[in-house]
Structures are given as C-alpha cells and as structure tokens.
Structure 1
Amino acid sequence: MSKLLKSFNKGIEYLLMLLVAVMVISCVWQVLSRYIFGQASAQTEELMRYAIIWVSVIGGAYVYGEKGHLAITFFADKLNQSLARLISIFIDTAISVFSAMVLIYGGYQIVSATMIQISPGMGLPMGYMYMALPIAGFMFIVYAVQHITAKLKIEAN
C-alpha cells in the first residue's frame, strides 16, 4: 500500500505542477494578447479560473495527505499520547464522513446538474470545473484511511 500511495502522490504532484504551468502560460498569453494584439482571450481567462479551482481543491487534499496543513496543537500537546491519538482518529473519521457526504455525494450532484451547462469561453461543460470536488473527496478519504491505519499500527505496537 505504501508504494501505491507514493505513486498516487507522485501523480498528484505532477498534475498540480501541470495545472500551475497551465495557469502561468495562460496568464502570460492573456497579457500578451491584451497588450500586443489589443484583444484579450476569453478562453485563457476561463482556463485560468478552472485551473485555480482544481489546484486549490486537489492541492488541499494533497496537503492533508502529506500532513502539511495548518494545525493548532496546543491542546493536543497537553493530552496523554493515547488520548491524543484517539482524538486524532476521531478527526480523521470526521473528515472522511464530511468528504463522503459533501465532497463526493454533493460534488456528484453538482457535476451531474452542471454537465448540461456550457462554459461561455471554452465551450466545455461546467461540470468539468466541479469534478474536482468528488475527486478531492476520494483523495481525502484515501488519506484519512491511511492516517488512521498508521495510528492504529502505532497503537498496536
């Protein structure tokens, strides 16, 4: 599982790097087309908007998986180790439930409802923009299960 998760993380890293590169290239093209050619490109503006949404949502899930998110540990540091681990497992479980209900189920509902709406700039279904929600929800659950499993292994030892 660890090797599979490392490959999964590498894939997410490459996806995020690609999206950031697309944003930079689109931004440069937007500036060039506006000031050199006198007409801004509607497609690049919309592409940047899609990319920043995907980077934010997928990147948030990735940071959670890497335990790189902001955490206030003042109270957790005051608890004994087993109680802190139990609370941490509860938090990861709550994140899984939230991800399943809001990001996956709710995201699927939004994607389904907006696939018939066409974006004005690129002519793509708007559901593609919202598809980041269920994907991130799945990622959150995978990472939460991995975190819980690691905590239970530590407790068993």
Structure 2
Amino acid sequence: MGDIASSAKILSKRVNWLVERVCVALLVLLVLDVWLGVLVRYAIPLPLTFTEELARYLMIWMALLAVSSGIAYREHIGVAFLFERLPASARRWLAVAFDVVGFAFFFALFWYGLGFAERGMSRFSMIYGMPKGYAFAGVPLAAAVACVQLALMGVHDFFAREELDRIAAATPDPRVR
C-alpha cells in the first residue's frame, strides 16, 4: 500500500514541477510586460496599448495555475487545530474528506468553467480582437490540474501510513508557548 502512496506523491511532484515552470514563465512575461507598459507610458512615448490587458490575463492564468502547486505542497486552507488533535486513523479520514470536498469544488469549477470559456469565444477583447474564451480557458484548465493534484494527494493520504503522523508531529501545538 505504501507503493501506491509513494507513486501518487511522485506523480504529484512531476505535475507540480511542470506547473511551477509554467507559472515562472508567466511571471517573467508579466514582469516584462509591466515594465514595458511603464516605459511606454512615462519614458518612451510609443502607442502600445496592449500591455495592460496582457498583464491582466497573465496574472489571472498564473494565479489560477498556482493553486494546484499549493495543493501539492499542502499549503492550501486546512483545519490544522482540529487535525492535530485527532488520532492518526481519524487524521487519514479527515485528510481524505478534505481532498474529496476540494475535488468536488474544483470539478464544479472545471465543469462550469468549460461553459464560461465556450461562451467567451463569442466575445472579443478590445485591444487584441481575439476571443476572450482563450483567456477564460485558464479557469477550467487550472481547475482540472487542481483536480488531478487533489486526486493524487487523496490517494496518497488514503494509503500513506506514517505521513499523517509526521504532519501532526511537525504542526506546532498551540497550547505550548
């Protein structure tokens, strides 16, 4: 059973490796775009109007994709005060329950995000004249990656034996000051 947990964790790390690189690339493009926008507005009088809209789309895509990275590192919202006070067997079931609830939320976001992106194909951006559906596609894509990460972490949480004990041991006890 430990092989299933470790395989899920390894696959989650591989997916996260790719997502992190995409987020860094989007961040680099965002920084360059904002710098260009500041330059053309205040230093070099060029009629470049696309920088603000591009920055908005890059930031949205980057932030949405970064959610799955937070899931992979277990940095998403959790109820630590309750989690640390439970025995190991209850911790496993609580972690799996959190994963299932999170998966349901992100699957609903994926499902409705597909319709959102599809409807966006009939609306066009003001600057680029491209269908907004391409920008809106970040919502279902990021939700799908979050679902994959939650499924992998759920499998890991269900089959891992000692991992949840270490999580509780690493969590500081709020009663000790």
Q: RMSD between aligned alpha carbons?
A: 1.9
Distance 2:11 2:130 in 1: 32
Matched, 1:26 2:24: no
Distance 1:40 1:13 in 2: 34
Larger RCO, structure (CA 8 Å, separation 6 or more) = 2
Preserved CA contact (<8 Å) 2:11 2:152:
no
Matched, 1:66 2:78: no
Matched, 1:89 2:96: yes
Distance 1:40 1:62 in 2: 37
1:37 CA drift (Å) = 2.9
SS in 2 for 1:20: helix
The count of corresponding residues between Structure 1 and Structure 2 is 155
AA at the equivalent of 2:98: I
Structure number with bigger Rg: 2
1:5 CA drift (Å) = 3.7
**TM-score normalised by L of structure 2:** 0.80
Q: 1:7 to 1:109 in 2, by over 3 A?
A: same
Aligned residue runs from structure 1 range 7-156, under 5 A: 7-39=14-46, 41-101=48-108, 103-155=109-161
Preserved CA contact (<8 Å) 2:118 2:133:
yes
Preserved CA contact (<8 Å) 1:107 1:133:
yes
User: 1:106-138 CA distances to partner (integer Å, 9 max, x unpaired)?
Assistant: 100100101111111222211112111111111
Preserved CA contact (<8 Å) 2:12 2:153:
no
Preserved CA contact (<8 Å) 1:54 1:132:
yes
For structure 1, the 5+ residue unaligned runs are none
1:64 CA drift (Å) = 1.2
Distance 1:40 1:81 in 2: 62
For structure 2, the 5+ residue unaligned runs are 1-6, 163-177
SS in 2 for 1:10: helix
- Which residue does the alignment assign to 2:166? none
Identity of aligned residues (%): 23
Preserved CA contact (<8 Å) 1:112 1:127:
yes
Distance 1:104 1:144 in 2: 13
AA at the equivalent of 1:138: A
Distance 1:58 1:154 in 2: 26
